Amino acid sequence: MAIAIILYSLHGHITALAEAEKEGVELNGVQCDIFQVPETLDADTVKALGGKPSTYPIANREVLEKYDAFLLGVPTRFGSMPAQWSSFWDATSALWVKGSLHGKLAGVFICSSTGGGNESTIANVVTTLVHHGMIYVPLGYYNVMKKLSRMDQIRGGGPWGSGTIAGPENEREPTVIEKKIAREQGRKFGKVYWKTIH
Protein backbone atom coordinates (compact mmCIF):
# COMPACT_ATOMS: atom_id res chain seq x y z
CA MET A 1 0.00 0.00 0.00
CA ALA A 2 2.30 2.73 -1.16
CA ILE A 3 3.16 5.13 -3.93
CA ALA A 4 6.48 5.03 -5.77
CA ILE A 5 8.04 8.04 -7.41
CA ILE A 6 10.20 6.83 -10.30
CA LEU A 7 12.44 9.33 -12.00
CA TYR A 8 15.34 10.04 -14.25
CA SER A 9 17.35 13.13 -13.37
CA LEU A 10 20.62 14.19 -14.97
CA HIS A 11 21.05 17.64 -13.44
CA GLY A 12 18.93 17.42 -10.30
CA HIS A 13 15.89 19.40 -11.47
CA ILE A 14 13.55 16.40 -11.54
CA THR A 15 15.01 15.31 -8.20
CA ALA A 16 14.07 18.61 -6.58
CA LEU A 17 10.51 18.32 -7.87
CA ALA A 18 10.35 14.67 -6.75
CA GLU A 19 11.18 15.60 -3.17
CA ALA A 20 8.35 18.15 -3.24
CA GLU A 21 5.95 15.60 -4.77
CA LYS A 22 6.88 13.15 -1.99
CA GLU A 23 6.15 15.74 0.70
CA GLY A 24 2.74 16.31 -0.88
CA VAL A 25 1.91 12.59 -1.07
CA GLU A 26 2.88 12.10 2.57
CA LEU A 27 0.45 14.81 3.69
CA ASN A 28 -2.20 12.12 3.09
CA GLY A 29 -0.45 9.71 5.45
CA VAL A 30 0.47 7.57 2.44
CA GLN A 31 3.93 5.99 2.22
CA CYS A 32 6.02 7.23 -0.70
CA ASP A 33 9.41 5.90 -1.87
CA ILE A 34 11.64 7.32 -4.59
CA PHE A 35 13.43 5.22 -7.24
CA GLN A 36 15.35 6.02 -10.40
CA VAL A 37 15.44 4.28 -13.77
CA PRO A 38 18.85 2.93 -14.83
CA GLU A 39 21.27 5.23 -16.65
CA THR A 40 21.89 4.22 -20.27
CA LEU A 41 24.66 6.70 -21.06
CA ASP A 42 28.25 5.73 -20.35
CA ALA A 43 30.04 7.46 -17.48
CA ASP A 44 32.16 9.63 -19.81
CA THR A 45 29.09 10.98 -21.57
CA VAL A 46 27.36 11.72 -18.28
CA LYS A 47 30.46 13.60 -17.21
CA ALA A 48 30.69 15.49 -20.52
CA LEU A 49 27.05 16.55 -20.06
CA GLY A 50 27.85 17.86 -16.59
CA GLY A 51 25.56 15.25 -15.07
CA LYS A 52 24.95 14.94 -11.35
CA PRO A 53 23.54 11.43 -11.06
CA SER A 54 21.05 10.87 -8.25
CA THR A 55 21.49 8.17 -5.63
CA TYR A 56 18.00 6.68 -5.30
CA PRO A 57 17.59 2.90 -5.53
CA ILE A 58 17.09 1.56 -9.03
CA ALA A 59 13.53 0.86 -10.15
CA ASN A 60 12.91 -2.55 -11.67
CA ARG A 61 9.96 -4.76 -12.59
CA GLU A 62 9.47 -5.81 -8.96
CA VAL A 63 9.00 -2.16 -7.99
CA LEU A 64 6.33 -1.79 -10.67
CA GLU A 65 4.55 -4.92 -9.42
CA LYS A 66 4.79 -4.06 -5.74
CA TYR A 67 3.57 -0.44 -5.71
CA ASP A 68 -0.03 0.55 -6.44
CA ALA A 69 0.54 3.98 -7.92
CA PHE A 70 3.36 5.93 -9.53
CA LEU A 71 4.45 9.49 -9.96
CA LEU A 72 6.87 9.55 -12.87
CA GLY A 73 9.58 12.21 -13.16
CA VAL A 74 10.40 12.55 -16.84
CA PRO A 75 12.70 15.23 -18.26
CA THR A 76 11.94 16.30 -21.82
CA ARG A 77 14.25 15.23 -24.64
CA PHE A 78 13.19 16.92 -27.85
CA GLY A 79 9.53 16.79 -26.84
CA SER A 80 9.44 13.20 -25.69
CA MET A 81 10.74 10.98 -22.89
CA PRO A 82 14.49 10.34 -22.66
CA ALA A 83 16.07 7.01 -23.73
CA GLN A 84 16.59 6.07 -20.07
CA TRP A 85 12.82 6.09 -19.62
CA SER A 86 11.93 4.40 -22.90
CA SER A 87 14.44 1.63 -22.31
CA PHE A 88 12.95 1.14 -18.84
CA TRP A 89 9.50 0.72 -20.42
CA ASP A 90 10.93 -1.53 -23.14
CA ALA A 91 11.85 -3.99 -20.38
CA THR A 92 8.23 -4.24 -19.15
CA SER A 93 6.63 -6.31 -21.90
CA ALA A 94 6.31 -9.37 -19.64
CA LEU A 95 4.31 -7.20 -17.21
CA TRP A 96 2.26 -5.91 -20.14
CA VAL A 97 1.39 -9.48 -21.22
CA LYS A 98 0.32 -10.39 -17.68
CA GLY A 99 -1.55 -7.11 -17.18
CA SER A 100 0.44 -6.56 -13.98
CA LEU A 101 0.06 -2.78 -14.12
CA HIS A 102 -3.54 -2.75 -15.29
CA GLY A 103 -5.63 -0.28 -13.26
CA LYS A 104 -2.68 1.22 -11.37
CA LEU A 105 -2.61 5.01 -11.12
CA ALA A 106 0.08 7.21 -12.64
CA GLY A 107 0.85 10.91 -12.72
CA VAL A 108 3.74 12.61 -14.51
CA PHE A 109 5.94 15.62 -13.77
CA ILE A 110 8.53 17.03 -16.12
CA CYS A 111 11.49 19.29 -16.72
CA SER A 112 12.36 21.02 -19.98
CA SER A 113 15.11 23.37 -21.14
CA THR A 114 12.93 26.16 -22.45
CA GLY A 115 9.33 25.13 -21.72
CA GLY A 116 8.99 23.53 -25.15
CA GLY A 117 7.81 19.93 -25.07
CA ASN A 118 6.26 20.17 -21.63
CA GLU A 119 2.88 18.82 -22.76
CA SER A 120 3.99 16.57 -25.60
CA THR A 121 6.37 14.74 -23.26
CA ILE A 122 3.55 13.87 -20.88
CA ALA A 123 1.22 13.00 -23.76
CA ASN A 124 3.88 10.58 -25.01
CA VAL A 125 4.20 9.00 -21.57
CA VAL A 126 0.41 8.63 -21.49
CA THR A 127 0.65 6.49 -24.66
CA THR A 128 2.75 3.99 -22.68
CA LEU A 129 0.37 4.13 -19.72
CA VAL A 130 -2.55 3.39 -22.04
CA HIS A 131 -0.86 0.26 -23.37
CA HIS A 132 -0.37 -1.00 -19.80
CA GLY A 133 -3.99 -0.14 -18.92
CA MET A 134 -2.82 2.34 -16.31
CA ILE A 135 -4.97 5.26 -15.18
CA TYR A 136 -3.45 8.68 -15.86
CA VAL A 137 -4.19 11.23 -13.14
CA PRO A 138 -3.55 14.78 -14.39
CA LEU A 139 -2.71 17.69 -12.13
CA GLY A 140 -5.59 19.70 -13.57
CA TYR A 141 -6.12 23.36 -12.79
CA TYR A 142 -8.50 23.35 -9.86
CA ASN A 143 -6.02 23.14 -6.95
CA VAL A 144 -3.36 25.29 -8.58
CA MET A 145 -5.36 27.81 -10.62
CA LYS A 146 -3.71 30.85 -9.03
CA LYS A 147 -0.19 29.45 -9.30
CA LEU A 148 -0.59 28.29 -12.90
CA SER A 149 -2.13 31.54 -14.04
CA ARG A 150 0.48 33.89 -12.59
CA MET A 151 2.07 35.99 -15.31
CA ASP A 152 4.75 37.76 -13.27
CA GLN A 153 7.36 35.02 -13.50
CA ILE A 154 8.40 32.13 -15.72
CA ARG A 155 7.23 28.75 -14.50
CA GLY A 156 7.21 25.21 -15.76
CA GLY A 157 4.40 22.72 -15.58
CA GLY A 158 0.74 22.97 -16.41
CA PRO A 159 -2.48 21.01 -16.03
CA TRP A 160 -0.78 17.86 -17.33
CA GLY A 161 1.65 17.84 -14.42
CA SER A 162 4.08 19.97 -12.47
CA GLY A 163 7.35 20.96 -14.08
CA THR A 164 10.37 23.18 -14.09
CA ILE A 165 12.43 24.94 -16.75
CA ALA A 166 16.14 24.20 -16.52
CA GLY A 167 17.45 26.65 -19.11
CA PRO A 168 19.53 25.55 -22.12
CA GLU A 169 22.65 25.25 -19.92
CA ASN A 170 20.71 23.73 -17.01
CA GLU A 171 21.55 26.85 -15.06
CA ARG A 172 18.10 27.60 -13.66
CA GLU A 173 16.98 25.94 -10.42
CA PRO A 174 13.36 24.99 -9.67
CA THR A 175 11.61 28.00 -8.16
CA VAL A 176 9.56 28.17 -4.98
CA ILE A 177 6.34 28.27 -6.97
CA GLU A 178 7.32 25.30 -9.16
CA LYS A 179 8.09 23.28 -6.04
CA LYS A 180 4.78 24.33 -4.49
CA ILE A 181 2.95 23.14 -7.60
CA ALA A 182 4.86 19.83 -7.42
CA ARG A 183 3.93 19.46 -3.76
CA GLU A 184 0.31 20.10 -4.64
CA GLN A 185 0.43 17.50 -7.41
CA GLY A 186 1.76 14.99 -4.88
CA ARG A 187 -0.90 15.93 -2.36
CA LYS A 188 -3.72 15.63 -4.90
CA PHE A 189 -2.36 12.40 -6.37
CA GLY A 190 -2.04 10.90 -2.88
CA LYS A 191 -5.62 11.90 -2.16
CA VAL A 192 -6.95 10.29 -5.35
CA TYR A 193 -4.96 7.16 -4.50
CA TRP A 194 -6.25 7.14 -0.90
CA LYS A 195 -9.83 7.35 -2.18
CA THR A 196 -9.37 4.45 -4.60
CA ILE A 197 -8.18 2.11 -1.83
CA HIS A 198 -10.94 2.98 0.64
Ligand X SMILES: *[C@@H]1O[C@H](CO)[C@@H](O)[C@H](O)[C@H]1NC(C)=O
Site residues (vs ligand X, CB under 6 A): 115-116, 118-119, 156, 158
> Quick one: 178 or 184, whose CB is closer to ligand X?
178
> Quick one: 51 or 159, whose CB is closer to ligand X?
159
The residues, ordered by sequence, that sit 6+ positions from 123 with a Cβ below 8 Å of its Cβ are 160
Other beta carbons within 10 angstroms of residue 60's beta carbon come to 15
Nearest-approach distance from CB 137 to ligand X, in angstroms: 19
Nearest-approach distance from CB 97 to ligand X, in angstroms: 34
CA dihedral (32, 38, 39, 42) in degrees, to 10, reads: 150
C-alpha to C-alpha distance for 92 and 186, rounded to whole angstroms: 25
> Quick one: 180 or 191, whose CB is closer to ligand X?
180
Nearest-approach distance from CB 12 to ligand X, in angstroms: 20
Nearest-approach distance from CB 161 to ligand X, in angstroms: 11
Query: By C-alpha distance, which of 109, 94, 86, 95 is closest to 188?
Result: 109
